[in-house]
Amino acid sequence: MPWKIVILIPICSCAAAQAVASDLVPTDVMPPADIIQPPADAITPYVGYSIGHDSNPLRLQNSAAAQAMGIGSGLSDTTQRYLFGLAVDKTLSRQHLTANLSAAKVDYNRFGQLDHYDKNLAANWNWHAGDHFEGNLGASYSQGLTPFIDFHLLERNIRTEENVYADGSWLFHPSWRVRGGLTYTKLKYDLESQQPLDNTRNQTEVGLDYLAASGSTFGVQLRHTHADFPNPEQDNGLLVFNGYNQDEVKAKIDWLLSGKTQLHFLGGWVSRKQDAAAVRNFSGVNSRLSADWSPTGKIGVTVSGWREIGAVDDLSTVYSLNRGASLASAWQYSEKIKLVAQVKYQKRDFGPSSGTGTLGSLNQNDVLRDTALSVVYNPTQRWRVQLSGIRSTQTLKNGPGGFVSNGVTLNTRYAF
């Protein structure tokens, strides 16, 4: 079996590390924060501590912007994070149950207004009915501070997301599988000024896959998403409800080229119709291609490229057309030491959602660059120590602004 990259996210409260960790590389090689893999059929408590320094956690343009906010000329801050969690793995006959519960206290040295608790809960039942039916039933809850990439106020903007999902597949032939799923998502912000971004999304998906004898999968999937934004947003003096309906027809391919190389592709036609204004509708191709390469048993590389529409870190009801690429590499230097390097480039174009020119302005078009380097040390199987350095920049394409941020984080975690 090919060696696959496992990238460990820093347990860090600094905004730079959180933003990069959440979106630096594709999620198929980036496990969620505060998630551990417990031993089979075990209940595993764990604790963690981290300290991080960020040169610009609020993602401000310069010292003048900081002075205008009344926080002095300094941009930097140091944070500490105290983590407590519980991971569960249980197998009952052919049924597999997993859960992870964690809470973290985050303290800022300068910007005490941002002190908060991160809360995460995820549970999944991987069910099996005979030899031909299987699927998942689960839910997740996450609460934490909103990233500052597109939000630059010194206010505690807590973001809460709830997910409930169910999916299943039927292997009706040794080489053919049909699948389907339902997902409900609710997104909520504490700040009154941000509540026009509150929304719920209902997603329905069906697909058909061909399972090749080589282990590759070739399929097609249809997806419909209905999004409702209950609180209107001000657009040039008008109250605008930003709900939408989105339909997708995409090919889904997982191709095992060799024992060392895998290709993953998801792409096709996407049509989004906004409730507020037809001028902000979108119709076009979305695609994402990635490749996993394992030249040796100790080195793994993942390369990705994409062109797709997406929310602006869920901080805006408009969308951007994103074009980008990322590279991640992990080197298992020794049994206890791993080196991980990651880079990402993304260009965001708000033109398709410009509407009246206020909610989605061409002046917002930008380029985001992120780089991270981590050294992971495992003194024992249960104890992990990680040192990470992160650099993030934003460059606006049509005007002044943007930011530069450099961060360093030291964290440790112990699983009992």
Q: 199 near 211, Cβ under 8 Å?
A: no
- Distance, in Å, from the CA atom of 300 to the CA atom of 328, rounded to the nearest integer, reads 8
Rounded to the nearest 10°, the torsion over CA 336, 13, 89, 31 is: -70
pTM equals 0.85
End-to-end C-alpha distance for the chain, whole angstroms = 29
What six digits make up the tokens of 414? 């112990």
State the pairing for strand pair 77-92/95-108: antiparallel
Nearest CA to 323 out of 312, 307, 310, 311 is that of 307
Q: State the pLDDT at residue 34.
A: 57
Q: 143 near 34, Cβ under 8 Å?
A: no
Q: Which residues contact 357 (CB under 8 A, 6 or more apart)?
A: 236
How does pLDDT run across 121-160, given as a tens digit for each residue?
A: 999 999 999 999 999 999 999 999 998 888 888 999 999 9
Q: State the pLDDT at residue 310.
A: 81
- Distance, in Å, from the CA atom of 208 to the CA atom of 217, rounded to the nearest integer, reads 10
What six digits make up the tokens of 69? 């906010």
- Distance, in Å, from the CA atom of 413 to the CA atom of 395, rounded to the nearest integer, reads 35
Question: Strands (DSSP E) along 212-336, which ranges?
Answer: 217-228, 233-235, 238-240, 244-256, 261-274, 282-296, 299-311, 319-332
Cα dihedral across residues 10, 118, 225, 243: positive or negative: negative
**Bridge partner residues of 168 (DSSP):** 135, 180
- Which residues in the chain land under pLDDT 50? 1-33, 314-315, 356-360
What six digits make up the tokens of 394? 């934003």
